[in-house]
Amino acid sequence: MKTYNIAALAGDGIGPEVMREAIKVLRATEKRFQFKLNITDAPVGWAGIDFAKKALPDVTLDICKKSDSILFGSVGLPDRDPTIPKEERPERAALLRLRKEFGLFANLRPVKLPKILSHACPLAKERQGDGIDILVVRELTGGMYFGQPKKTEDLGGGNFRAIDTMVYTTPEIERIAHVAFKAAQLRRKKLTSIDKANVLENGILWREVVTRVGKNYPDVALDHMFVDNGAMQLMLKPTQFDVMLCENMFGDILSDEAAALGGSLGMLPSASLGATNGNQTFGFYEPAGGTAPDIAGKDLANPIAQILSAALMLRHSFGLNDAAAAIESAVQHAIESGHRTGDIYSAHEAGAKRIGTRAMGDAIAAVV
């Protein structure tokens, strides 16, 4: 039986509560689909600082290096020790360090709003069609956030000049485009590439390279959209999108805009992918939200984002597409049969029952 090694880094706040439910669901999948998951827990964030005075203890990093993928909760507690230097704070010392260490270059953020949760979406019902289902694929290591030169020059007289540089090379665009086309093949086979080819040199190269890569995926329909129009279309007609492919900064902005359509942070998973080795891809999977200190330890958190992150891991790291789909449809089933944590509950919704973190995990695991 094939075995996969997973590092489970629950972190702080609601992290341990939602991680526990994700592992429960993974165990149910393991039984049904006949594979073995070797899951090793390791401390990170404030839990790491308490354990070894470091947000990313050496033992945790070591476990991650020996694993095939990382399932991550979230880190950071804003009210704990404001005197700690910012480079030692969990968000930087753990998260950014892990992203760098494992060369994670592709960020996948699916947003799915089932029709039955239309009340949780800020858009008018008629704009939601039969439900919103978008995957934003964002390049994570290039573009303006990392391009050199990047500096602020003192011009004298109290004036400064700040410089950021947008840089992309052909191979960087090719590898993220392949990720996006492959993801589209597993979905509705439509890819919208976002750029600013009317103004930016980077946009022109981006469009050329994506178009060329697209020739390898004749089953995927490709179109291009300027980023300003893309931002507007997300609000006007989000149902037109399947996969949106973006460079780093455009993806940062559009993935948060798209996330707002999903109703609750508690529903949104994410995947960050690194290198592929044979038929496995190293990945880092985490909910889009943070540690939610306001509801931590109260059995109030929605575990669905963490559970769907585990499903993304099965699909994108291990190619276990049936097991991933089983988790996703179990989530759908739990929602359709009225299970609601507080963040997606409305007293006006007939048949909805308000339940806790643990009961939501139980309901989903039972369906799997």
Distance CA 314, CA 141 (A): 23
Catalytic pick from 68, 133, 196, 345? 196
The least CB distance from residue 95 to ligand NAD, in Å, is 6
Name the helix (H) or strand (E) containing 47. Answer: helix 46-52
Catalytic pick from 50, 62, 223, 256? 256
- Is 256 part of the annotated catalytic residue set? yes
| Closer to ligand NAD by Cβ: residue 168 or 282 | 282
Q: Does 103 bind ligand NAD (CB under 6 A)?
A: no
Contact pick of 30, 68, 195, 286 for ligand NAD (by CB under 6 A): 286
Kind of pairing between the strands at 243-246 and 190-195: parallel
Bridge partners of residue 36, in order along the sequence: 3
Q: Does 251 bind ligand NAD (CB under 6 A)?
A: no
What are 277's two structure tokens? 């080795």
Beta strands of 87-218 (E only): which ranges? 106-114, 131-139, 151-156, 159-163, 190-195
Indicate the DSSP class of residue 84. S
Distance CA 64, CA 76 (A): 19
* Residue, CB closest to ligand NAD: 290
- Is 322 part of the annotated catalytic residue set? no
- Is 196 part of the annotated catalytic residue set? yes
The least CB distance from residue 57 to ligand NAD, in Å, is 16
Q: Does 43 bind ligand NAD (CB under 6 A)?
A: no
HSE-up of residue 262 (Cα within 13 Å, Cβ side):
26
Distance CA 288, CA 302 (A): 12
- Is 154 part of the annotated catalytic residue set? no
Contact pick of 48, 57, 76, 251 for ligand NAD (by CB under 6 A): 76
- Is 252 part of the annotated catalytic residue set? yes
The least CB distance from residue 74 to ligand NAD, in Å, is 3
Contact pick of 48, 57, 143, 289 for ligand NAD (by CB under 6 A): 289
Q: Does 261 bind ligand NAD (CB under 6 A)?
A: no
- Please state, as a whole number, how many other Cβ atoms lie within 10 Å of the Cβ of residue 322: 12
Bridge partners of residue 74, in order along the sequence: 11
Site for ligand NAD in 340-359 (CB under 6 A): 343
Backbone angles phi, psi at 50, to 5 degrees: -65, -35
Active site residues: 145, 196, 228, 252, 256
Contacts with ligand NAD by CB under 6 A lie at: 14, 18, 74-78, 91, 95, 265-266, 286, 289-295, 301-302, 305, 343
